[in-house]
């Protein structure tokens, strides 16, 4: 399987042959930052297009099909429109916090995005406490949402922000415990190590029932964490107009919009990394010819294909189930998911302690 470390090492050697040592690290950081921003934007555009097509399929429509082949250029036109639209100045808002909120949300999403191991040798931030950093970085976003609701001086925005705060803080517990279940199984908090430990079998299969339960709970909680249907109460159009970003326009609204879609991909990518082997190919013990064929498929393709399946499942949730009430949403977390997760974590500890996994 191709290792992208060959490419990164070649670029590093090339820069060192051209530039003084003092500038190499700065140049590499700038290049990584540019690549990260470009990838972030491209993923957002691809996910917006996929959402429209999946939504159309569930509703027996065609979706975008006029601008460009199969409507693929439609999202590019929408992006350009969003970038050049006027940012409307709202009276009676806390101007500093109002303008700061979307940047906090997008920075939080970008930090979490940079932790994802996309392929073999293609990791940007790979700490020995990578899981801890990922959870911490993604949790910053709630600060931006609360600031947006409060600084807008709008009761609909404030109600949406309060709902989002209660929802995200509640479901972060289930996400954290589901991730902790896999940390117990793998014995590491480093994302690259977790992926490599699945070379002989993905954790969804190796971890028995506790891994499967953790995956189901993670997927439900992750959908709620991204404020997507049927957990989209913070943006309930029939009740709150647009929720916490009602007063935003132009690029500032675009930041919230893009962050929501990329956060959906981050949830799917983390599920792929922790439960479905990340960029590891499918290997079946004893099937050497089959395993050799699987190794020919690039690691990046494996990762993106698995993540695409997870994204489709999350979209399936949204366009299938009706929106929950706020009491139902919180009851699901505190009365059901959280106790199940705690018992499941204890069960995984027993499985690992007595070496009952594959």
Residue 358's pLDDT is what? 61
Q: Which residue has the higher pLDDT, 33 or 200?
A: 33
* pLDDT, averaged across the chain: 89
296 inside domain: yes
pLDDT over 70 (residue 276):
yes
Does some domain include residue 183? Answer: yes
Q: Is 11 a domain residue?
A: no
Q: In this predicted model, what pLDDT tens digit does every residue of 286-304 receive, in sequence order?
A: 788 888 888 888 899 999 9
Residue 253 within a domain? yes
* Mean pLDDT of the 79-101 span: 87
Cβ partners under 8 Å of residue 171, min gap 6: 221, 224, 225, 231, 333, 337
Express each pLDDT in 168-194 by its tens digit.
889 999 999 999 999 999 988 999 899
Domain count, the chain: 1
Q: What element of type H or E holds 178?
A: helix 155-186
pLDDT of residue 1: 72
| 179 in any annotated domain | yes
- Classify residue 89: in a domain, yes or no: yes
pTM: 0.92
pLDDT exceeds cutoff 80 at 6 = yes
Range of the domain at 128: 85-353
Residue 92 lies in a domain: yes
Give tens-digit pLDDT for 206-237. 888 999 999 999 999 999 988 887 888 877 76
Distance CA 141, CA 147 (A): 10
104 assigned to some structural domain: yes
pLDDT digits (tens, 9 = 90+) for 116-163: 999 888 888 888 888 999 999 998 988 999 999 899 888 888 888 888
Query: Which residues face 119 on adjacent strands?
Result: 122
């Amino acid at each position: 399987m191709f290792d992208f470390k060959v490419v990164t090492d070649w670029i590093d050697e090339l820069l060192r042959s051209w530039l003084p040592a003092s500038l190499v690290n700065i140049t590499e950081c700038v290049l990584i930052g540019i690549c990260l921003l470009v990838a972030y934007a491209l993923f957002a555009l691809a996910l917006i297009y996929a959402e429209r097509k999946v939504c159309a399929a569930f509703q027996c429509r065609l979706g975008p099909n006029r601008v460009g082949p199969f409507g693929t250029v439609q999202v590019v036109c929408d992006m350009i429109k969003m970038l050049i639209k006027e940012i409307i100045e709202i009276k009676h808002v806390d101007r500093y916090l109002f303008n700061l909120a979307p940047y906090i949300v997008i920075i939080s999403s970008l930090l979490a995005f940079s932790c994802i191991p996309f392929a073999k040798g293609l990791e940007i931030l790979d700490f020995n406490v990578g899981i801890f950093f990922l959870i911490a970085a993604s949790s910053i976003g709630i600060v931006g949402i609360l600031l947006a609701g409060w600084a807008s001086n709008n009761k609909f925005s404030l109600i949406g922000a309060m709902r989002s705060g209660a929802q995200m803080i509640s479901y972060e517990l289930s996400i954290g415990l589901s991730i902790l279940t896999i940390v117990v199984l793998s014995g590491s908090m480093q994302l690259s190590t977790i992926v490599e430990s699945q070379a002989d079998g993905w954790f969804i299969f190796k971890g028995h029932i506790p891994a499967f339960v953790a995956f189901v709970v993670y997927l439900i909680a992750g959908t709620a964490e991204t404020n997507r249907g049927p957990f989209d109460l913070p943006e309930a159009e029939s009740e709150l107009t647009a929720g916490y970003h009602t007063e935003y326009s132009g690029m500032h609204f675009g930041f919230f919009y893009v962050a929501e879609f990329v956060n959906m991909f981050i949830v799917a990518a983390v599920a792929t990394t922790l439960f479905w082997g990340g960029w590891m190919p499918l290997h079946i013990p004893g099937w050497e010819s089959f395993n050799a064929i699987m190794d020919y498929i690039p690691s990046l393709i494996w990762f993106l294909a698995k993540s695409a399946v997870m994204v489709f499942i999350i979209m399936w949730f949204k366009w299938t189930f009706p929106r929950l009430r706020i009491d139902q949403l919180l009851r699901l977390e505190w009365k059901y998911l959280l106790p199940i997760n705690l018992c499941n974590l204890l069960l995984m500890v027993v499985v690992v302690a007595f070496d009952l996994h594959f």
